[in-house]
A and B are shown apart, each in its own frame.
Chain A
Amino acid sequence: MKLHEYESKDVLAKVGVPVPAGEVTSDGDEARAIAERLGGKVVVKAQVLMGGRGKAGGVKLFDDAASAGAFARELIGKTLVSIQNPQGMVVEKVLVAEQIDIAEEYYLSVLVDRAAAKVVVMISAKGGMDIEEVAHDDPGAIVRLHVDPSWGLADFQIRKAVREARIPKPAQSQMVQMIKRLVEAFMDTDADLIEINPCAWTPEGRLVAADAKVSIDDNALYRHEGYRQNADDAAEDPIEAEAARRGIAYVRLDGDIGVIGNGAGLVMCSLDEIASAGGRPADFLDVGGGAQAERVKSCVELVLMDPNVKGLLINIFGGITRCDEVARGILAAFDELNVTIPVVARIEGTAAEEGRRLLEGSRLVPAETMQDAARKIVELAYA
């Protein structure tokens, strides 16, 4: 679960990482008051979880509180659209923060290195740009420091890594402190990513987290009550948010053929089959193990919420999941929802024969195999 910038900065401030002074608000007048308290020279930043926020006009610098307040008033309630997020997102809150003078920009992040099964700190003197580009163009500019799972990081290791990353000498000791605190914050909040880019070095010699991204491990939200309450709202898409409320694993994609299957691997494979048959999948949906009819119906309803969907593929290989239950769910969906698009189902495994028998005579088009199903739905949906 990605946190907003202001929440991310709260996480950092709590462990003593310097962040620009600022406050968040959803009110234009209050934004002006905050700007006044900060001396007028502020930056106003839309709090939306999307890439390309700056280019979309969601970030602006001001010299006086009145114009900062006017901009905030205009921004709140507005929909920002970027290349990364063409559907756009409504701005509900803005962060009003002091402007930081920046002499140099560095990069810091903490994440899990899957191959090493360890937490890793990434340090670079090349901040303020896309780190993936740095990794590609100048891999030597990024230093990786693994955290020992039983005793953490020793100061000497951090000092060595910071030197290797060619962070200029005056900034080194503050950087060492910052890294220690970031690792502490990562562990305490069950984060799966903390990224500071840029990590700003000011002309007065202060190291400050000018921008921050913190993402919390979804699986650990149960032990962080405060974040858990926001989890549904944090979804970037309204159908994904609804799926989260229903406890269904659903990812919205940009195509037009809906997909329902059981098991993540089988669903991913179904998407691949649709693509190879010339179609474009509209979603990833895993009904989960042992799904009952009611849940299957709820899944069909969810997929149909996407107005782009022109056809639906259902691919079930029943293990714990009983195919007759799936069939009852599909029939209930046909009865109770207004299903007008073509539906193709491939149903195999436990109680498959009974499931197929139940579906005979319905508007569903049966298929023998996953490949056959993909071919049929692409043909029917695009007819």
Chain B
Amino acid sequence: MAILVDRSTRVLVAGMTGREGSFHTEQMIEYGTNVVAGVTPGKGGQALFGVPVFDTVEEAVAQTGATAALIFVPAPFAADSVLECEAAGIPFITLITEGLPILDSLRVVNRLKAGGRARLLGGNCAGIITPGQCKMGIMPGHIFAPGPIGMVSRSGTLTYEVVWELTRAGLGQSTCVGIGGDPLPGTRFREVLELFEADPETKAVVMIGEIGGSDEEEGAAYIRTMSKPVVAFISGRTAPPGKRMGHAGAIISGGTGTAQSKVDALLAAGAAVADKTHEIPVLVAQALASRGVGVG
């Protein structure tokens, strides 16, 4: 089961022949991801790692039956690439690219929402992985293991940090979803929490948030209604207001988006909130045990 991607997912990579695109395509193929097509305008007819390259997404979909797209194209062309994938009928689009202008994000996010045909994940995200089945992103595959924990996060490396600790504690993952560090993500915490709630293989959820915006608070409102336990962690508790901490979306502005506001909302919603990353596996194990769910 898992959510959004599994071994049946047929992945198209936009920008596959670029430096980042080719490096990660090779890593994904090594992991076992079914990469069926690459797209780079002007490079149609070539092949890379045995994967055919097409000039357009439409052509690639018609020839290979791709069901998901992973985008590496540079920021000035990224919005166009998302729209091209949507127009070609791809229902799940992940945007790795960092640095999309906010008005581009705004237009793309609203367009996809209005169209109702495609889901966007990202931009500025690490992608998504269903361990042992499909890695569609830039994460190091070897730290993940299959299991019952759903994970959703705004940060890439912090996800690796926590997954590494979960895996070593014997807590494998159903799916790990990187929603990205941009201020207007295509998919938000709440939507991923809803998918995990409905997924029979997911028994508990780990949510990694950070300062900026009110996505965590919106997610917390849904956590109140969930049957599955949620363990959360928020980074940026010591970040000063008005400073952008690396991620375009990680900024406290006008008194909103503080770590404290998020921690308070999550605690009030019944989530367990870890103070330190190494407490997360302990809290997850406790949550599972208290509900009589055995692991491994």
Contact = CB atoms under 8 A, between A and B. Distances in A.
22 contacts: A114-B184, A115-B215, A118-B106, A149-B106, A149-B110, A217-B102, A217-B103, A263-B158, A263-B160, A266-B158, A268-B210, A268-B250, A269-B158, A269-B161, A271-B238, A271-B239, A272-B235, A317-B157, A319-B140, A319-B156, A319-B157, A349-B160
B157 A268 contact: no
Interface in A74-127: 112, 114-115, 117-119
B101 interface: yes
A9 B268 CA distance: 45
Interface residues of A, number: 54
B164 A272 contact: no
Nearest to A372: B278
Contacts, number: 160
Interface stretch (A12-20, A29-37, A203-211, A218-226): A218-226
A284 B153 CA distance: 20
Nearest to B139: A319
A266 B139 CA distance: 14
Contact of B140 (A190, A263, A273, A318): A318
Contact of A251 (B158, B243, B255): B243
Interface in B75-109: 75-76, 99-104, 106-107, 109
A130 B119 CA distance: 39
A114 B213 contact: yes
Contact of A217 (B101, B238, B277): B101
Interface residues of B, number: 61
A217 B158 CA distance: 26
B181 interface: yes
B291 interface: no
Contacts of A371: 276, 278
Which of A114, A149, A273 has the most chain B CB atoms closer than 10 A to its own CB? A114
Interface in B224-268: 235-240, 243-250, 254-255
B131 interface: no
B110 A192 contact: no
B58 interface: no
Given A114-B215, A217-B103, 10 more contacts: A114-B212, A118-B110, A219-B101, A263-B158, A265-B157, A265-B247, A268-B155, A271-B239, A284-B243, A348-B164
B76 A251 contact: no
B155 A264 contact: yes
B183 interface: yes
Contacts of A276: 275-276
A262 interface: yes
Contacts of A275: 237-238
B110 A266 contact: no
A299 interface: no
Contacts of B245: 251, 264, 267-268, 284
A286 interface: yes
A135 interface: yes
A253 interface: yes
A320 interface: yes
A40 interface: no
Nearest to B126: A319
Nearest to A135: B254
A318 B161 CA distance: 9
Contacts of B211: 268
Contacts of A289: 138, 156
B237 A272 contact: yes
The 9 closest A-B pairs by CB, nearest first: A265-B155, A263-B157, A264-B246, A265-B158, A220-B101, A149-B110, A266-B157, A319-B140, A268-B235
A370 interface: yes
A338 interface: no
A150 B110 contact: yes
A301 to B, nearest CB: 19
A132 B254 contact: yes
A131 B253 CA distance: 12
B154 interface: yes
A281 B161 CA distance: 21
Contacts of B238: 271-272, 274-275, 281
Contacts of B106: 112, 117-119, 149
Contact of A319 (B101, B160, B243): B160
Contacts of A190: 101-103
Contact of B102 (A115, A220, A274, A348): A220
B114 A265 contact: no
